[in-house]
Amino acid sequence: MTLPDRDFVAFAQARFDALANYQVTLKSTSAGAETVEVLYAYRKPGFVRMDFIRPHAGATLAFNPESGKVKLWPFGIDTFPRLTLSPDNHMIQSPQGHRVDESNIGALLVDVRELEQHGDTQVVGAGTIGAREAAHVIVTCRPGYRATGVFRYELWFDLSHGLPVKVVSEGESREPIETVLMENLRIDVPDSELRPFA
């Protein structure tokens, strides 16, 4: 497979900037932590809904950028109890400190682009993630500069829509931080097919 001649990170950023919403199944694996699987939905200007498959099956988080608050239903949406929390509450952050209000693909690309400014970007080649043809790109930081605690990103950008479908982050000693697989990504989903953002 021949890769298009383009800046894959910039192309993904432009694609994210142009979309209205997306839905995806996220699978996150971290060293020493349980795999997290979530049905994730995002709608501009920053609405997020996360329906947990594992762990915490049935729990739902919804972030509203207008209120700046997260609603948590531990046993499923519209069930009792419902908690209203700040997105910086440690109870709802990932083991890596990810916040629900900074969990979208656009926020990831901001971090990747910041690392690019202080390092090197290499297009490794083409690969396949699931059934998707993808461009494999590595962004490595120069020693001594760490923008987000991540020293190196490996990203696989889907060649059909340009967004990442797999991301691996590593620390300065190349220790794995997190691997995120994005499956069944749907972009610009009709409103009638989007789950409500509460």
Q: Tell me: the pLDDT tens digits for 28-64? A: 999 878 899 999 999 999 999 999 999 999 999 999 9
Beta-carbon contacts of 101 under 8 Å, excluding residues fewer than 6 positions away, are 46, 48, 63, 65, 68, 70, 87
| 193 located within any domain | no
Going 34 to 96 to 118 to 109, the CA torsion angle's sign is: positive
> Alpha-carbon distance 41 to 90, whole Å?
21
| 2 located within any domain | no
Name the average pLDDT for the chain. 93
Residue ranges making up the domain that contains 155: 8-188
| 196 located within any domain | no
> Alpha-carbon distance 36 to 156, whole Å?
20
Taking alpha carbons only, the member of 123, 167, 118, 122 closest to residue 143 is: 118
Render pLDDT for 2-13 as a digit per residue (tens, 0 to 9).
Answer: 888 899 999 999
Overall domain count for the chain:
1
pTM of the model: 0.92
Say which CATH number the domain at 66 has.
Answer: 2.50.20.10
